[in-house]
Chains A and B, each alone.
Chain A
Amino acid sequence: MNLNEKIKILSDSAKYDVSCSSSGSSRKNKKGGIGNAAPSGICHSWTPDGRCISLLKILLTNYCIYDCKYCVNRSSNDVPRAAFTIDELVNLTINFYRRNYIEGLFLSSAVCVSPDHTMELLLKSVKRLREEVNFNGYIHVKAIPGASNKLIEETGKYVDRMSVNIELPSGESLKLLAPQKTKESIIKPMGLIKSGIIQYQEEKLKFKSTPQFVPGGQSTQLIVGATKDNDLKILKLSESLYSSYKLKRVYYSAYVPVSNHPNLPAISGPPLLREHRLYQADWLLRFYGFNSGELLNEENPNFDELLDPKSGWAIRNLDKFPVEVNKADYYTLLRVPGIGVKSAQRIVQGRRVSMLDFDDLKKLGIVLKRAKYFITCKGRYFPQKSIPTNAVSIKNRLLLEDNIKNRGNIEQLSIFSLFPGIMDGEF
C-alpha cells in the first residue's frame, strides 16, 4: 500500500480526536537538530470545519482487537486497515515539519495485537525521532490503557504531552459501549503519568539537568452525547481530573454518529452546541475561579443551550450585581458576563491611573453587549433608555441579542478552544 493511501486511512480515524494543541512545552532545539516547541503553541492551518491544524494527528495503525461501539476502528467494523512502518512515520513527520506544515506529531494508535505491543511501537517511534533524527519539535503520544508501567514511563521521557482518552464519562457507559475496557485500565496510566510529572518537577528544582518528563502535561478527551451522562456528571469529572490528576486540558468531542448500534443514540448530527457549552464551562473552571456546583446542580443538570454558562449563573445570582467597575476586585470582574480574562486585566491596569467610565471601557476594547446589564461605572448604569434589572427581562435581552446575531447559524457557535491559546501572548 502506498503512503498516500495509508495517510488517508490513518488520518481518517484520528480526526475525531479533537486535541491538536501544541502548547505548554518550551523544548529547545539541539545543536544540528531540527525543531523546538513554542510555549504558546502555533496553529499551522485551519480546515474547512474551522479547526486548527497544529500537529500531524495520525494513527500508527487502525488494526484493533477491541470493539468499542462508538469507534470507527472497532474490530467488527468493515473498514480498510493500514499500518505505518516506523520509517515511514518518521520520514513523514520530518518532511512535513521542514516545510513548516506542522508543529509536531500527535501519535495515537488502535490496539494492535496487545496493549504492550502497541505501546512498544509508539515508544520506538518517538525514540527514533528524538535520538536518531534529532527532532525536537512537539510530540504528543497516547498512552494505551493496559500497557505496562515500564513502557508508559519510558515513553514519557521522550514526549511533550501524553494523554489517555477516557471517552466515556462513567463506568456504566463504558460497560455499555466499550465492554473490553475498564475504568481501572484507563485511570492507572493517568495516575502513572501524573506521578511521573510531579517527580520530574520536584527533581528539576534540585538538579537542572533532570531529563524531561511530559513537560507539556497530560490531557484527555470525553465524548459528549454518545451516552446518557448529563453535563453535571461530565463537568464534575473534569473538575476532579484538573484537581486530582493535575490534567492540563480536558477536551470534549461531540459524538459524530459512526454506527447504528442499538446501544448508541440515534442522532442526525453531532451535538455541537452542547460541546460548545461544555468548553465554555471548562474555561470557567480553569481560569475564572468557578466550581461545577455553581454552574449546575441536580435540579438543573444540563446547560441551557441558548445561554452561555456564565450568563446563566449571573442571572441566577442577580443579588451579586451590579458590580462597580472601578472598585470590584479582579475575580469579581471575571464573573461578569462578557468580561474575559484579558478585559479584567485591562480594567485593573487602566483604573490604576484614572477612574473609568463607559467610554473608557470601550477604548480598552471591552465589549459591553453583555456586560452592560451587570456593571456600573462611577455608580451609574450604562446610559441607555431602560436597563432591565430583573432576571427574566435580562435573560430575554441577552437571548434577543444572540438571536439577532446568530440567526440560522448555530454552528458558528462551535468555536474556540480547539486551537492553542494564541494571539494573547507576546503583547
Chain B
Amino acid sequence: MLYYIYDGSFDGLLTAIYDAYYNKDFPEQIVPQDSFTDNFLISKVYIRTEEEKSKKVHDAVLQKISRRAMAGIMYAYLSEDENAGISILEYLRFGFKVGRTVDSYLADDRVNNINRLVTKVAREKHLLAGIIRFRLLHNNIYYAPIEPQYNTLCLLGKHFADRMSDQIFVIHDVKRSYGVFYDKTKWFMSDIEMNKDIVLHENELFYQELWKRYFDNITIKSRINPKLQSNHMPKKYWKYLIEMK
C-alpha cells in the first residue's frame, strides 16, 4: 500500500497531487502527517511542500475544470475527513478527463464523495456565521471562542471583516489553536496560545443578561419542541452560546 504523507497544509496536499501525476504513481491514501499511523504494510512517500507545484495544480484545475471544482476541493480539504486527500485526487483525475462537466456526474462516486464533504463544510460555515458569539473584553477587543467540527473558520474571515468593519475582533478556534484576527483594516489568521485569562469589559455581562432575557422570552411555551431546536443547532455547538448557559 502506497501512502503519500504531507504536512497538513492545502499547499502540501496539492503538491502531493502534483507528485502523483509527475511520478505516474497514484497512492492509495494521501494523509496529513499528524493523523498518520504507520504499519508495516504501508510504503510511505513523504511529500515536500512546494508552492510552485501547488500553484501549477491550482492553475490547471481552474483552466481545465472549473472554479467551482477548485472551491470544492478546498472545502473537501477543510472537512479533515480521513479520506479527503484520496477523494480529492480521484475527483481531480476524473475532472481532468471530462473537464467542465465533471459536476454533472452527480451519481458518480468520485463526484459524490466530494459533494458530500462540501455540503458538510458549507453547512457548518453558514451555521457558524450565525452562532459565533463575541464577548467584549476590557481592552475593547471583541473575542469569540468556538470549536467547529470542521476547519471552517478560515472561510469566515471575510464575512465578519465586511460586517463588523469598525470593531477589532478575534475568532478563536479553540480546538485547532488558531484564530481569525481583524484590526479594522484587514483580516488575517494566526496561531493562538492562551496564557492569560480573558477579562471581560465591565458592560459585557449586562448585555449577555439582556440577550438571555430576550431569548427566554421569545420562546412560545405552547410550541416547545427541543428536538427541532437541536436539529437546527446541534448540541455540540452549545458550549460557547451565551443563551444556552
Binding site for B on A (CB under 8 A): 3-4, 7-8, 11-12, 14-16, 29, 31-36, 38, 40, 42-54, 56-58, 92, 95-96, 98-101, 103, 137, 256, 269-270, 272, 346, 349-350, 352-354, 356, 359-361, 363-364, 411-412, 414-415, 419, 422-423, 425-427
CB pairs A–B below 8 angstroms (11 shown): A7-B210, A15-B217, A38-B129, A42-B130, A43-B232, A137-B163, A256-B222, A363-B112, A364-B107, A412-B228, A426-B126
**Is B39 in the interface zone, CB < 8 Å from A?**
no
| Contact among B101, B218, B228 for A15, CB-based, below 8 A | B218
**Chain B interface mostly helix, strand, loop or mixed?**
helix
Q: Given A4-B209, A98-B164 in contact, is the A49-B219 Cβ separation under 8 Å? A: yes
Stretch at the interface among B133-141, B174-182, B188-196: B133-141
**A357 (CB) vs chain B CBs: closest residue:** B107
**A411 (CB) vs chain B CBs: closest residue:** B225
| A427 contact set on B, CB distance < 8 A | 72, 75, 115, 118-119, 122
CA of A35 to CA of B160, assembled, Å: 9
Size category, B interface:
35 or more
**Is B183 in the interface zone, CB < 8 Å from A?**
no
**B155 (CB) vs chain A CBs: closest residue:** A426
A423 touches B126 (CB 8 A): yes
A-B contacts at CB below 8 angstroms, number? 176
B106 touches A349 (CB 8 A): yes
Name the distance in Å between B136's Cβ and chain A's nearest Cβ: 7
A360 touches B107 (CB 8 A): yes
A45 touches B105 (CB 8 A): no
CA of A224 to CA of B30, assembled, Å: 57
Name the distance in Å between B71's Cβ and chain A's nearest Cβ: 8
Binary contact track B137-173/A, C-beta < 8 Å → 1, others 0: 0000010100000000000000010111111000000
Binary contact track B8-47/A, C-beta < 8 Å → 1, others 0: 0000000000000000000000000000000000000000
Name the distance in Å between B81's Cβ and chain A's nearest Cβ: 16
CA of A193 to CA of B122, assembled, Å: 35
**A52 (CB) vs chain B CBs: closest residue:** B232
| B166 contact set on A, CB distance < 8 A | 32-34
Name the distance in Å between B156's Cβ and chain A's nearest Cβ: 11
A98 touches B214 (CB 8 A): no
**Is B97 in the interface zone, CB < 8 Å from A?**
no
B219 touches A47 (CB 8 A): yes
Name the distance in Å between B62's Cβ and chain A's nearest Cβ: 17
| B243 contact set on A, CB distance < 8 A | 45
| A35 contact set on B, CB distance < 8 A | 163-164
**Is B60 in the interface zone, CB < 8 Å from A?**
no
Q: Given A34-B167, A100-B144 in contact, is the A47-B213 Cβ separation under 8 Å? A: no
| B227 contact set on A, CB distance < 8 A | 50, 412
CA of A425 to CA of B101, assembled, Å: 20
Binary contact track B66-78/A, C-beta < 8 Å → 1, others 0: 0000001001000
CA of A388 to CA of B167, assembled, Å: 62
B220 touches A36 (CB 8 A): no
CA of A363 to CA of B111, assembled, Å: 10
CA of A58 to CA of B72, assembled, Å: 40
Q: Given A53-B218, A99-B136, A426-B122 in contact, is the A92-B131 Cβ separation under 8 Å? A: no
| A137 contact set on B, CB distance < 8 A | 163
**Is B2 in the interface zone, CB < 8 Å from A?**
no
A34 touches B164 (CB 8 A): yes
Name the distance in Å between B184's Cβ and chain A's nearest Cβ: 9
| A54 contact set on B, CB distance < 8 A | 130
B223 touches A272 (CB 8 A): yes
CA of A414 to CA of B75, assembled, Å: 33
CA of A40 to CA of B220, assembled, Å: 25
B129 touches A98 (CB 8 A): no
CA of A122 to CA of B215, assembled, Å: 23
B223 touches A49 (CB 8 A): yes
B101 touches A49 (CB 8 A): no
Q: Lowest 5 CB-CB distances: which A-B pairs, in order?
A: A50-B228, A360-B107, A49-B223, A350-B106, A50-B225
B207 touches A95 (CB 8 A): yes
| B229 contact set on A, CB distance < 8 A | 46-50
CA of A349 to CA of B119, assembled, Å: 17
| Contact among B105, B165, B213, B215 for A353, CB-based, below 8 A | B105
| Contact among A3, A8, A16, A356 for B217, CB-based, below 8 A | A8
**A16 (CB) vs chain B CBs: closest residue:** B220
**B132 (CB) vs chain A CBs: closest residue:** A100
| A272 contact set on B, CB distance < 8 A | 223
B228 touches A36 (CB 8 A): no
CA of A124 to CA of B144, assembled, Å: 33
